[in-house]
């Protein structure tokens, strides 16, 4: 793999991870909000505690993605 190929690969990973991070942050906000009644209206019967647990899970994944994104950005700067 050439240096150019490695840089292109890292850029692709960064792009994918930015989209994933935005999605996870959005999922964290969605699962953390709303009332029992509003969730039941859309067919979700999880308890508030379960929804908050789901929100925390997405938050932890978002934090992990954020760290990985910074790592890939550092690698890209190193390769340039």
In percent, how much of the chain has pLDDT > 70?
Answer: 100
Token digits for 46?
A: 């999880």
Tell me the pTM. Answer: 0.86
The DSSP result for 26-67, as a single string, is HHHHHHHSS-HHHHHHTT----HHHHHHHHHHHHHHHHHHHH
Averaged over 40-45, what is the pLDDT? 95
Q: What is the pLDDT of residues 10-40, one digit of tens each?
A: 999 999 999 999 999 999 999 999 999 999 9
Write down how long the chain is: 80
Q: 42 to each of 6, 23, 48, how far by Cα in Å?
A: 45, 20, 14
Backbone angles phi, psi at 33, to 5 degrees: -105, 180
């Amino acid at each position: 793999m050439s240096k150019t190929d490695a840089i292109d690969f890292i850029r692709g990973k960064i792009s994918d991870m930015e989209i994933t991070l935005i999605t996870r942050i959005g999922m964290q906000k969605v699962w953390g909000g709303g009332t029992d009644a509003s969730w039941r209206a859309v067919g979700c019967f999880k308890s508030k505690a379960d929804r908050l647990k789901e929100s925390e899970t997405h938050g932890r994944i978002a934090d992990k993605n954020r760290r990985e994104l910074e790592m890939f950005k550092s690698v890209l700067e190193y390769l340039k």
